[in-house]
Structure 1
Amino acid sequence: MDRREFSLALARPLGTAKGTIHRREGVLVRVDADGILGVGEATPLPGWTESLADCRAALDAVSDRDAALRTALDADPRDPLAETPSAVTAALDDAPAARHAVESAVLDARGRRDDRPLATLLAADPATGVPVNATLGDGSVAETVDAARAAVDDGFDCLKLKVGAGDLDRDVARLRAVREAVGPDVTLRADANAAWDRETASEAVDAVASLDCSYLEQPLAADDLDGHAALRGRGVDIALDETLATTAVADVLAADAADVLILKPMALGGPARAHAVARRARAAGVVPVVTTTIDAAPARTAAVHVASAIPDVRPCGLATGDALDGDLAPDPAPVEGGVVAVPVGPGVAGDAFDTLF
């Protein structure tokens, strides 16, 4: 298995629970199965995945397992590593970003071998395009309205506003101004990134419900399943994102804590793993939405395939390429008019990423 490390500057700093990030650093992997290549990306995000050092260590542990990875090409593509030797899977168990790279590379090679796009390995009739939301960062009322109008002019009909950085009254004023500016036909979402206590979150639910918001994302701390469950059924859906980094999906569903699950393939351990969670969520009556951890083009494109394999998927958080100041390769799945066209080449994007090695 070949490897190549990379580092990409962000267009603007990214604030996380672990501090502010200025660059995205990761590892590309390439498998060669008798001349059939497959490329995968591991871009760890501390707080969501293992550290970069632990990601490297996990990949070190499987770097000489080419024979095992070739065997995975013939496995069920919905769980391609299921029958891989335990020495491989155990090394990746606590390293979702590393696992994402390996699983993606295997699926890419499988698709190229069989001349099928990745999405068709996961679903019989995937969509040819995926609707996406525009994300509006924290800003003044005027700045937020200007950004919302610009996004709508670019063809987006779903906007996600970051809230929780200031007081609730300020956020409500921003949401109300955007709703008045874009009209009733644009879907609004609000993402609090676990900023509030239960009292503030309860007030927020009533406020955003009155503005016809589609969902309120992660209003409470990641481990507060009971608190999130208590917010449901009050006029706005509750979406969980950060919670999935610390809590098993089975526990989230058992607690009836969410109407929507935000699925990051990098944090869940791979495209097939993410699609399996989406199927499980749907079976439980919970809506899956796919997004990224601000990944480079290979992982972002794989996430597009995952979203397209979910029937009637709602707008996803895949318009994240502009969060990077540069990328590893030209984007094979650019956003146009609020929609991402799914690449039709075999695997993730044909041979689009082979020149990265």
Structure 2
Amino acid sequence: MKAGVRPFAVPLAESLDTARGSIERREGLVLRLDADDGAVGVGEATPLAGWTEHYDECERALGTVVDAVDRGAAPDDSLDALEPTPAARHALDLALADLAASRADEPLYRHLGASDRVESVPANATVGDAPADQTVAAVERAVDAGFDCVKLKVGARPLAADIERVEAAADAVDAALRADANGAWSRSQAQQFLDATADRLEYVEQPLPATDVPGLAALSGPIALDETLAAVDVADALDADPAALVLKPMALGGPRRAVAVAERAREAGVEPVVTTTVDAAVARTAAVHVAAAIPDPPACGLATAKLLESDLGPDIAPVADGRAVVPQGSGNGPVDAWGNAAGAHGGDRV
């Protein structure tokens, strides 16, 4: 077995404004595993502070994986050591799953547990922070493009302004709406927002800081947890009685772990919503496979390719009419470690 890592950087087409600040560029690393039998597995690590480790930590962690493989260790042996660095663990977990699915000549979502063929999964659109009129225009464009569900970024402006934005969007379109505060509010602010908008929204995502599980549990109204999953155990997050868990495979440590958390959520009567950390093609496609491995998934945050000005390769899981196409070739499938496109139906990646 051989292993190699290569860095990449992709700019966003325009900055994504959130309560945590603007995202303008995504930097990451691609991990490639070359087995002695010619099989290849590819994974991506695209760290995002607040959800995962920093880039430098991720780079060092993946370097230890390459060193261990060069010394003859099995790649699987490094998974436990990568627990403190979830983005690095995601890269290795995805590369291993891609390798196994490719060897079995099955698409990644089938390897992850899906029993039936899945052609597409529902996706939501995301609208960044903007004044009410611009928010309405963006939501209307999303609905015109076929999205039945739109998520609004909130928490970066006064509470009254965000309430106005939600009300204006709800009045303008007949679509499911969600709001994402990225942990920006106090308990009183979060409850005020929920009281004003709960009947207009499916849920409010991460209304309080990640570790305030008691405060989250005390809120009255539908909430979803995102950053909390990167800070506390899943069981503790479920104790907050959320309506949904927002599952970022990059932050959870890999696609296989994301599917396992989705199963735990469903057992608890909580909806698992798969989303990305504005990843490049390798991880974004894997997130589509994760969503496809979940029976009857809700609208998921998979429509992020359009946010990138450039990418690692062609988008083989495009979103159209509010649904993401699920690739049917072997493995994950999008690109190899050097950015060469794989065929849309799998095949060699050299």
Q: TM-score, normalised by structure 2?
A: 0.90
CA contact (8 A) 2:122 2:298 kept: yes
Encode CA deviations 1:246-273: one digit per residue, 9 max, x unaligned: 11112112x2342211010001110001
What does residue 44 of structure 2 align with?
A: 41
- Aligned counterparts, 1:24-173, within 5 A: 24-33=26-35, 34-66=37-69, 84-85=76-77, 88-123=78-113, 124-125=115-116, 127-173=118-164
Q: Structure 2: 5+ residue runs without aligned partners?
A: 341-350
How far does residue 175 in structure 1 lie from its aligned partner after superposition?
1.4
Residue type at the aligned position of 1:31: L
The AA in structure 2 aligned to 1:99 is R
The answer to whether the Cα contact below 8 Å between 1:190 and 1:217 also exists between their aligned partners in 2 is: yes
SS at match of 1:222: coil
Say whether residues 1:251 and 2:239 are aligned partners.
no
Rounded to whole Å, the distance in 1 between the matches of 2:237 and 2:133 is 37
Counterpart check, 1:226 vs 2:211:
no
Is the CA contact 1:138–1:165 (under 8 Å) kept in the aligned structure 2? Answer: yes
Q: 1:195 to 1:18 in 2, by over 3 A?
A: closer
Alignment correspondent of 2:257:
273
Q: Deviations over 1:35-88 (max 9, x none)?
A: 00111101111221111111111111111444899967xxxxxxxxxxx43xx2
- Unaligned runs of at least 5 residues, structure 1: 73-83
Distance, in Å, in 1 between the alignment partners of 2:309 and 2:65 is: 31
Distance 1:282 1:69, change over 3 A: farther
Q: Secondary structure at the match of 2:31?
A: strand
> Which residue identity is paired with 2:307?
A
Distance, in Å, in 1 between the alignment partners of 2:131 and 2:17 is 18
Q: SS at 1:207's partner residue?
A: helix
Please give the root-mean-square deviation of Cα atoms over the aligned residues, in Å. Answer: 2.0
Distance 1:70 1:298, change over 3 A: farther
2:73, 2:97 → 1: CA distance?
Answer: 11
Paired residues of 1:225 and 1:257 also in contact (CA < 8 A): no
Measured in 1, the distance between the counterparts of 2:264 and 2:317 equals 26
Decide whether aligned partners of structure 1 residues 281 and 299 sit closer, same or farther in structure 2, where only a CA change above 3 A counts. same
Identity %: 53
For the residue of structure 1 that corresponds to 2:202, the secondary structure is strand
8 Å CA contact 1:195–1:221 kept in 2: the answer is yes
Match of 1:75 in 2: none
Encode CA deviations 1:175-208: one digit per residue, 9 max, x unaligned. 111112113xx11111111121111111111111
Shift of 1:242: 1.3
- Tell me the residue number matched to 2:308: 324
Report the equivalent of 1:216: 204
Give the number of aligned pairs. 336
Return the letter of the residue paired with 1:5: P
SS at match of 1:214: coil
Alignment TM-score, normalising by the size of structure 1: 0.89
Contact 2:18 / 2:129 at 8 angstroms: preserved in 1?
A: no
Match of 2:189 in 1: 200
Which one is further off, 16-25 or 215-224?
Answer: 16-25
Taking the aligned partners of 1:157 and 1:166, their CA distance within structure 2 comes to 26
2:205–2:225 CA contact under 8 A, matched in 1: yes
Alignment of 1:1-40 (within 5 A): 1-14=3-16, 20-33=22-35, 34-40=37-43
Note if contact 2:19-2:154 (Cα within 8 Å) is conserved in structure 1. no
The separation in 1 between residues aligned to 2:176 and 2:15, in whole angstroms, is 27
Q: Partner letter of residue 12 of structure 1? A: E
- Contact residue 126 and residue 309 of structure 1 kept, 8 A: no
Cα distance in 2 between the residues matched to 1:270 and 1:252: 19
* Structure 1 residue 108 displacement after superposition: 0.9
Q: 1:17 to 1:214 in 2, by over 3 A?
A: closer
**Which SS does the other structure have where 2:24 is aligned?**
strand
Matched AA of 1:292: T
Q: Which residue of 2 aligns with 1:81?
A: none
Q: Give, in angstroms, the shift of residue 120 of structure 1.
A: 0.3
Are the structure 2 counterparts of residues 40 and 28 from structure 1 closer, same or farther at C-alpha, using a change threshold of 3 Å?
A: same
